[in-house]
Amino acid sequence: MTLEQQLRDLAQEAVRDIAANENLESLEELRLKFIGRNGAITTILRGLGQLAGDERKRVGQVANEVKDEIQSAHDQRKRSLDEAALTARLSLEKIDVTLPGTRLELGHIHPLTQVTEEIISIFYGMGFTVADGPEVETDFYNFDALNTPQDHPARDEQDTFYTNVRPDVLLRSQTSTVQVRVMANSKPPLRVISPGRVYRNEEINARKFPLFHQVEGLLVDKDVTFGQLKGTLNAFIRELFGKPLKTRFRPDFFPFTEPSAELDSQCPFCEGSGCRTCGGRGWLELLGCGMVDPNVLTGAGIDPEEWSGFAFGMGIERLAMLKFGINDIRHFYNNDLRFLRQF
């Protein structure tokens, strides 16, 4: 068989194989087999040297034609395989917009925030507004300005965390600090509550945690009476527990109020007969309160001869625990969904 004939046969075979080929990888193999550097055409052309000049030229030409023919068969096949692959991919990756989506589960408000918002809304109803203050405080606002000078024994009950910024910079142990700031920055009459985070250097147990929340209340006006304080807090307790409960004001001591009292309410669960929540006593200790000490007013630039006021402060965790019947304060901070989902 002449070289020319061999080349033509090869072309036929190549074009047939290429047309029948079904995937890109073996198509490349075919290309290499026929027109690659070590492919069949190269092998045939090795015999070229034995031919006479004219003949060699002609066969050379045929070889080039055959190469082009195979190359273009290859290119065409490759284009249609590429296209088919793309079409297949597109049809696989088609987005079905009718499929239901994956929903993000919505959470809900933390029980402490719920109770805080409820407290705020009850006092809003009585004309109080919310005042804010810093959690990192000076001992002046946390103690001195609240009539608790350096060596006052009442400081012991509120040991907190000090910073190395300055020896007098601490994490506030009570939201009463905001009283002083409000009085110093605005003119009476005043009616504010200030909810917020407070800190105490305390061992952790079921009832105590080094971080907790309080709401402070302050009212300053002309001729404020203890009766008004009682009325305000009785209304608050009624709203918070959703029913009228007996209350009692037990004399107590706070440096910044005089007289001071602890407010107990009848236990909302047993209504006084004694149960587990109230430890059989029938009463729950809820908050501290009293008439603003004249020293505190004076210190904040308010004349106690002209103005008087009452104040109160409560722990939000404690109220939330009573309201929801929670027996361990640590539940609030563990972020355990089995707990949180119950509220």
Write out the residues near ligand DAH by the rule CB under 6 A: 174, 176, 216, 254, 257, 288-290, 311-313
- Which one, of 73, 54, 71, lies nearest residue 16 by Cα? 73
Residue with tokens 């001869």: 305
Q: Which is nearer to ligand DAH, 311 or 320 (CB)?
A: 311
Nearer to ligand DAH, 111 or 217 (CB): 217
Q: How far is the CB of 158 from ligand DAH (least distance, A)?
A: 7
Element (H, E) at 266: strand 257-266
Tell me how far, at minimum, the Cβ of 270 lies from ligand DAH, in Å. 26
Nearer to ligand DAH, 257 or 265 (CB): 257
Region for residue 288 given its phi and psi (left: phi exceeds 0; alpha: psi -120 to 50; beta: otherwise): beta
CB–CB of 275/294 below 8 Å? Answer: no
The H-assigned helical ranges of the chain are 3-20, 24-35, 40-45, 53-92, 111-124, 139-142, 177-185, 226-241, 294-299, 316-324, 337-340
Strand partners, 219: 191, 310
The residue sitting closest to ligand DAH, measured at its beta carbon, is 313
* Nearest approach, Cβ of residue 177 and ligand DAH (Å): 9
CA 337/CA 339 separation, integer angstroms:
5
| Closest distance to ligand DAH from the beta carbon of 103 (Å) | 43
Contact 232, 219 (CB under 8 A): yes
Residue 244: CB atoms within 10 A of its CB come to 11
* Residue 143 vs 283, nearer CB to ligand DAH: 143
Q: How far is the CB of 174 from ligand DAH (least distance, A)?
A: 4
Cα–Cα distance for residue pair 313/315, rounded to 1 Å = 7
Q: Tell me the closest approach of the beta carbon of residue 106 to ligand DAH, in angstroms.
A: 35
Nearest alpha-carbon partner for 160 in 216, 212, 84, 229? 212
- Pick the closer one to ligand DAH by CB: 176 or 247: 176
Smaller CB distance to ligand DAH: residue 6 or 257?
Answer: 257
Name the phi and psi angles at 8, rounded to 5: -65, -40
Of 73 and 286, nearer to ligand DAH (C-beta) is: 286
Q: Which is nearer to ligand DAH, 39 or 290 (CB)?
A: 290
Could you tell me the smallest distance in angstroms from the CB atom of residue 266 to ligand DAH?
Answer: 21
User: Position 194: which residue type?
Assistant: S
- d(Cα 325, Cα 343) in Å, to the nearest integer? 11
Q: Which of 181, 92, 183, 184 is nearest to 141 (CA)?
A: 181
CA 13-16-21 angle, 5° bins: 120
The nearest distance, CB 313 to ligand DAH, in angstroms, is 2
Instruction: Provide the minimum distance between the beta carbon of 175 and ligand DAH in the complex, in angstroms, as a whole number.
Output: 7
Our CB check for ligand DAH shows the closer of 188 and 288 to be 288
Please list the residues that pair with 162 across neighbouring strands: 170
